[in-house]
Amino acid sequence: MDYSHQTSLVPCGQDKYISKNELLLHLKTYNLYYEGQNLQLRHREEEDEFIVEGLLNISWGLRRPIRLQMQDDNERIRPPPSSSSWHSGCNLGAQGTTLKPLTVPNVQISEVDAPPEGDQMPGPTDPRGLKPLQEDTPQLMRTRSDVGVRRRGNVRTPSDQRRIRRHRFSINGHFYNHKTSVFTPAYGSVTNVRINSTMTTPQVLKLLLNKFKIENSAEEFALYVVHTSGEKQKLKATDYPLIARILQGPCEQVSKVFLMEKDQVEEVTYDVAQYIKFEMPVLKSFIQKLQEEEDREVKKLMRKYTVLRLMIRQRLEEIAETPATI
């Protein structure tokens, strides 16, 4: 990548900007950390706009169940994407390595007699009696005389429709099931979405929910940057999550991006986070010292204003005793 010095500004939030040169330095550090992994980010110039794109890890931090929706049967499912496509790297193992799903070829072989000329040959079946599962897929037919290849038509079978409904990204191995369509993802488990630096927080939320076919509205959730110190910073609607991640640094042992409910989480500032890790006796000692200091300040103010009140009263008495001059 070319990390040449640039001077223009890149937006990182409402009325907030960062120089392209500084962002490139952060980006270089980020990519060095994930060297050799698919979590590295790329950047490009498009119509004089600097754009960074790549995968963003998001941890599940939900306390309430979510609802999965059934997929529209009319939606056409494309083959699984390659490692360089939009949804690549959605299922990751340790350290960002890609777990490739095991696929079984839709090649079905059955022995049948060669039908007389003019008779209609029945479609191939699998050992369970189901119709072929993949449209426009070569089917191997074995007969007593030869082995031929036959291509299916574009007719969608009931089993094909069931396959389409099942084809979706899983949440830690959990697919849609009418009995378990309402569930809570394991807290702290990680997923990811491919985004770019021009996408705001609401856009990233909608993309994530759509990826897993979640019925809940994006308005119910928010993205938080959670630090190991306990600090929690809510990303605003005008923030750009990918830029925020780059500026926070690549190490997720220091900070992570969490998906959480808006009404279940409160922001924790850095000053408050400093005291979260302390034990209760230590916190009580802090409170006691603060109370003692407060009491000293109160007594100091009381003495000050008591003396001031006496001085005012004494002055008034002197004025009253002084005879009026004509």
pLDDT in tens, 255-266: 999 999 998 888
Band the pLDDT of 117: cuts 50, 70, 90. very low
Q: Give me the pLDDT at residue 164, please.
A: 55
Residue 30 Cα distances to 40, 41, 45, 233, 319, angstroms? 7, 8, 19, 21, 77
The pTM score is 0.58
- The whole-number pLDDT of residue 174 equals 66
Segment 73-81 shows an average pLDDT of 45
Do residues 321 and 313 touch, judged by C-beta distance below 8 A?
A: no
CA–CA distance, 88 with 54 (Å, rounded to integer): 10
Bridge partners (DSSP) listed for residue 299: none
Degrees, nearest 5: CA angle 63-66-70: 170
Q: How far is CA 294 from CA 255, 271, 297, in A?
A: 36, 19, 5
Scored b (16 or more CB within 10 A) or e, 17-28 reads ebebeebbebbe
Residue 93 has what pLDDT? 44
CA angle 256, 261, 265 (to 5 degrees): 70
Whether 178 shows a pLDDT value over 70: the answer reads no
Q: What is the pLDDT of residue 80?
A: 45
- The whole-number average pLDDT for the span 66-75 is 65
Q: Between 164 and 241, whose confidence is greater?
A: 241
Length of the chain: 326
Q: With residue 248 as reference, give the H or E element that holds it.
A: helix 241-248
What is the mean predicted confidence (pLDDT) over 258-275?
85
A 10 A CB-CB count for 100 gives 9
Report the pLDDT value the prediction gives residue 8, as an integer from 0 to 100.
85
Q: Residue 166: its pLDDT value, please? A: 52
Q: Which of 17-31, 117-131, 197-211, 252-266 is the least confident region? A: 117-131
Q: Return d(Cα 27, Cα 53) in angstroms, integer.
A: 11
Task: Please state the rounded mean pLDDT for residues 128-147.
Answer: 39
User: Quick one: fold of 9-63+187-265?
Assistant: Ubiquitin-like (UB roll) (3.10.20)
Q: What is the pLDDT of residues 93-116, one digit of tens each?
A: 444 444 445 444 454 444 444 444
Give 180-215 pLDDT, tens digit per residue. 678 888 999 999 999 999 999 999 999 999 998 899
Average pLDDT, whole number, for the chain? 75
Write down the domain spans for the chain: 9-63+187-265, 275-321
Residue type for position 301? L
